[in-house]
Amino acid sequence: MTAFSFYVRVVNALDEIGAPYMIVGAFGGYPFGISRVTYDIDILVDLHEQDFDALSQAFPLPRYYADPEMMRNSVAMGIMFNIIDTGEGVKADLVPLKREPEYRIAFERRIRRKFTVGSGETFEAWVAQPTDIIIGKLKAWEEGRSNKHPNDIHAMLVFFLSGYSDYLIDLDTISAEATRLGPETLELWNQLVARAQAEVRARDA
């Protein structure tokens, strides 16, 4: 089982038990233009009491580690937990919505999208809107200044401005959030928009 296949299994299990979730980060940006290889997945979840045992049963020992008490305690404390495929050495990171309350609005407006990767494998899942993925990446850049976040945002903007996306990126909403995050983040955002616009114009000229 590849890492991607394991992620699909986790998402399918959440769908089957009816547990609300949303894929965020670079993996969530695949349908919206991010093409870089990423071997991890971040899933925001809103689990309830009936979900812990059901999710654990979908990943039985000894191959998998998905302890229901660990999930229950993690959700209660608002800390991230993992479902692990010990055979392949891969894991899915699940983040309780309680830990990230500022994502509540993004969670409520999540959308259903189809994912397709280079291997040809596909699946459908609940994912953050592209506007919210970009806002999340600006927040992550503000915290750690990793270049991967501006690169991902640039890829999404070019994809959108080229007309490949069937979903709107709300540039005004992102600008307002970048302003709230601070002048350096706003400057970065403005530079990314200008660079993406120039790249699309040059290619179409």
What pLDDT, in 10s, does the model give residues 47-80? 999 999 999 999 999 999 999 999 999 999 999 9
Residue span of the structural domain in which 101 resides: 3-127
Q: Are residues 30 and 96 in the same domain?
A: yes
Q: Which of 163, 135, 152 is nearest to 29 (CA)?
A: 152
Using pLDDT thresholds of 50, 70 and 90, give the confidence band for residue 39: low
Domain end: 103, 127, 151, which one? 127
Q: Are 169 and 131 in contact (CB under 8 A)?
A: yes
pLDDT, average across residues 84-106? 90
Q: Are residues 106 and 8 in the same domain?
A: yes
What pLDDT, in 10s, does the model give residues 177-188? 999 999 999 999
Unique residue bearing structure tokens 């459908």: 124
Measured CA angle at 45 (ends 39, 48), to 5 deg? 145
Q: Which two tokens stand for residue 78?
A: 């608002």
Has this prediction a pTM greater than 0.95?
no
| 119: CATH | 3.30.460
What pLDDT, in 10s, does the model give residues 138-173? 999 999 999 999 999 999 999 999 999 989 999 999
pLDDT at 122: 82
Domain end: 71, 95, 127, which one? 127
pLDDT, average across residues 27-50? 88
Q: Are residues 102 and 142 in the same domain?
A: no
Q: Of residues 16 and 115, which shows the higher confidence score?
A: 16
Query: How many domains does the structure of the chain reveal?
Result: 2
Q: Are residues 168 and 199 in the same domain?
A: yes
Using pLDDT thresholds of 50, 70 and 90, give the confidence band for residue 98: confident
pLDDT at 5: 86
